Amino acid sequence: MCGRLGLSLDKEQVRCACSYKEKNGNSFAKPDWLHEHNDGKEYVPSYNIAPSDVTPVIIAAKGSEGCAKASRVLKPMMWGIIPPWHKGDYKNHNLSTNNCRLETLKTSKLYHPILTNGGRCVIVAEGFYEWQTTIKSKVKQPFYIYVPQDDNIQVDDPNSWNTEFNEIDGWKGIKLLQMAGLYHVWKNNGTIIYSYSVITMESNDTLNWLHHRMPAILDNQEQIDAWLDIESVNTEIALSYLRPVKILSWHQVSIEVNNSRNKSSKCNKRVISNNKSIQKTLTAFFTKSEKRTSNEETVLNKQYKRVKH
């Protein structure tokens, strides 16, 4: 599952970190940031983002008011979808919607209509927190999970980050996690709130030592393009791109992150464990990075190209 995130970049830095190349383009474009009131809730950079907080989310630009020239836009959205049928105070719908299970999307009364109506989105974060459930203990050990970074970048040390961006080389700073999700625009008595859920799936060998569920992480531009392309890529093909990611990095953090009111940089700082068996990085579980050149991927590539043409 996915219950806490970390994202400390400001709005402009998030735009740079989410830069991408348009199809057949030679330069990097930054998605526009389209403000939403969301009942007064704003995105606030934080090392400990919890459900009901507001974070930046990428959606397709087509159909977005005020959108621009880019094919993607960033919108601030509240974490935890508000059910479309809910009336009254949005805080009182009494459902846990920060995650939605991939396995039941097609049968869910809540998520299936959102999925089929083009509510696909990408949630961005520097990392997410997970508590180890595979070892019984009175206090579960939290870990911070993130994309492998360049050698000179430490995710828990912003002083090591490069914040440079240009259209030729793109963003040189911290690499963000990009997770597949669903979003909905809830309207009630003049209140409009954009909200989202993170899609989760069964963990593979990458994370099943930690927890039996993991977010649907999109680890290449082809996956991101297909998931966001709601006009040309149908639901079935889009879902086929969601597969457990194979390479991630992680480190242990203190239980300070357990309290969602603690938002400081102490939350994602690595701590040293006395247990040597859990000091290895996730990449140590693999002798070599597996290249994504399987027959399955070849078929998906052909499907995607056929749909696009």
Indicate which residues carry an active-site annotation. Answer: 2, 130
Q: Residue 304 and residue 297: Cα distance in Å, rounded?
A: 10
Closest CA to 58 of 110, 125, 141, 114: 125
Q: Residue 156 and residue 171: Cα distance in Å, rounded?
A: 18
